[in-house]
A and B are shown apart, each in its own frame.
Chain A
Amino acid sequence: MSDQQTFFSNLKCRECGQLYPKEAIHICEFDFGPLEAAYDYDLISRHINRDVIESRPQTMWRYRELLPIDGVPTVGAQVGFTPLVRADRLAKHLGVDELYIKNDTVNYPTLSFKDRVVSVALSRARELGFQIVACASTGNLANSVAANAAAAGLTSYVLIPANLERSKIVGSLVYGTQVIGIQGAYDQVNRLCSEIAGKYGWGFVNVNLRPYYAEGSKSMGFEIAEQLGWQLPRHTVIPMASGSLLTKIHKAYNEFIKVGILQGQKFSVHGAQATGCSPITEAQKKHTDIVKPVPNPQTIVKSLAIGTPADGYYALRSMAETGGSAEDCSDEEVIRGIRDLAEYAGIFAETAGGVTVACARKLIETGKIPRNESIVLCITGHGLKTQEAIHEHCGEPRVINPSLREFEALIANDKAVLEAGLKS
Chain B
Amino acid sequence: MPAHVRIPAPLRKLTNDEEIVIIDGSNIGEILTALNTAHPGLIERICDEQGNVRRFVNIFVNDEDIRFQQDKATPVKDGDEISIVPAIAGG
Contact = CB atoms under 8 A, between A and B. Distances in A.
A214 B91 CA distance: 10
A318 B83 CA distance: 30
Interface string B40-83: 00000110100000111110100101011000000000000001
A278 interface: no
Contacts of B55: 32, 313
Interface centre among A186, A191, A214 (most CB of B within 10 A): A191
A27 B86 contact: yes
A248 B13 CA distance: 31
Q: Does more than half of chain B's interface fall in helix, strand or loop, or is it mixed?
A: mixed
Interface centre among B19, B87, B89 (most CB of A within 10 A): B89
B56 A244 contact: no
Contact of B90 (A25, A195, A311): A311
A386 interface: no
A210 B68 contact: no
A306 B90 contact: yes
Given A293-B68, A308-B65, A32 B88 contact: no
A308 B58 contact: yes
A198 B56 contact: no
Contacts of B83: 191, 195
B11 interface: yes
A198 B8 contact: yes
Contacts of A37: none
Contact of A32 (B6, B54, B65, B90): B54
A365 interface: no
Interface in A13-43: 15, 25-34
What size tier do the contact residues of chain B reach?
Answer: 20 to 34
A313 B89 CA distance: 12
A309 B65 CA distance: 13
A310 B65 contact: no
Interface stretch (A57-65, A134-142, A328-336): A134-142
A195 B89 CA distance: 14
A210 B10 contact: no
Interface in B7-27: 8-11, 13, 19
A311 B91 CA distance: 12
Interface centre among B8, B45, B63, B90 (most CB of A within 10 A): B90
A140 B60 CA distance: 27
Interface in A181-233: 186-188, 190-191, 193-195, 197-199, 206-207, 210, 213-214
A242 B89 contact: yes
B89 A29 contact: no
Nearest to B84: A32
Contacts of B56: 15, 27, 31-34, 310
Given A29-B10, A31-B45, A186 B88 contact: no
A27 B54 CA distance: 13
A310 B54 contact: no
B46 to A, nearest CB: 8
Contacts of B38: none
B68 to A, nearest CB: 5
A194 B8 contact: yes
Given A194-B85, A195-B6, A198-B8, A206 B13 contact: no
Given A207-B88, A310-B90, 12 more contacts: A32-B57, A34-B87, A136-B88, A142-B91, A194-B88, A198-B9, A199-B19, A210-B89, A295-B65, A306-B91, A308-B65, A310-B56
22 contacts: A26-B88, A28-B10, A29-B11, A31-B48, A32-B54, A32-B56, A136-B91, A141-B90, A142-B91, A188-B63, A191-B60, A191-B83, A194-B86, A194-B88, A195-B6, A198-B8, A198-B9, A206-B89, A206-B91, A241-B90, A241-B91, A308-B87
Identify the 5 closest CB pairs spanning chains A and B, nearest first.
Answer: A242-B90, A198-B9, A310-B87, A137-B91, A32-B56
Interface of B: 6, 8-11, 13, 19, 45-46, 48, 54-58, 60, 63, 65, 67-68, 83, 85-91
Interface of A: 15, 25-34, 135-138, 140-142, 186-188, 190-191, 193-195, 197-199, 206-207, 210, 213-214, 241-245, 292-293, 295, 306, 308-311, 313
